[in-house]
Structure 1
């Protein structure tokens, strides 16, 4: 009987040591040697969720065509990088682009697939947004899109917006 108790205690001890070791190794971040070195950043942590809310509020104002409120989210030196590779620089030019582009359409069935705030190891704050919706033109034509946007923030304002769009079926 003593042998069975001793054997049971020994097995329990070794199993508990193994579990502790596994838990410790799961908690430690793994250093990865990437094949391609990032030219900007390759280390991020989860950022400020309030910035996600700002992006969502701005989108709500765009859909409602409340452009004065949309402008409150943009820094004076904001830059939009559009899906065709063109850049729009400055708050006034970006606002003109949005007002001209969105005033004659309706955005329907707007949905967010992913929104994530991240902070780079250099302190840069970004919100990554994957969203989709249906564009309805004044003549009733409808086109559905998937969008991917990245918004960079500085002092609570958007300083960069990069956008990619793809029609969906």
Structure 2
């Protein structure tokens, strides 16, 4: 191999390495920047019905009575992001214990005011409740709860969904 070819290959490899490192650094910096962003939570954990029932601090049937959207700042980064805080009147506790009214704190997939849901929730030290996955809020429509949770698929009436949840808790 002549000197010109060696120099050309060295230049190509060096430029490729610099480009690759630059791309990797950009990806890392972007992921850190989005860590607390409400738009970044598209990667929900995927739980089946038994896992949701087991991991939930509380499973409730509740009606959303008030919603309030707020822009909040992360305490360390001071980055602003949007949240929805929803007051929920707990109609029935299917697992755990909760007060008669709870506040659901959400970054995406907001609940609708006036809507009834079965909610698989985690209680945080901040006093708010959070859904465990993108399927952890099961809405009621026309007297049926329409679930897309693996292992609890389909339309169930109130009695059916209560029975399935209680059975999963044993």
* Band of TM-score, shorter chain: 0.3 to 0.5
Looking at CA atoms only, which structure, 1 or 2, has the larger radius of gyration? 1
Q: TM-score, normalised by structure 1?
A: 0.34
Q: TM-score, normalised by structure 2?
A: 0.34
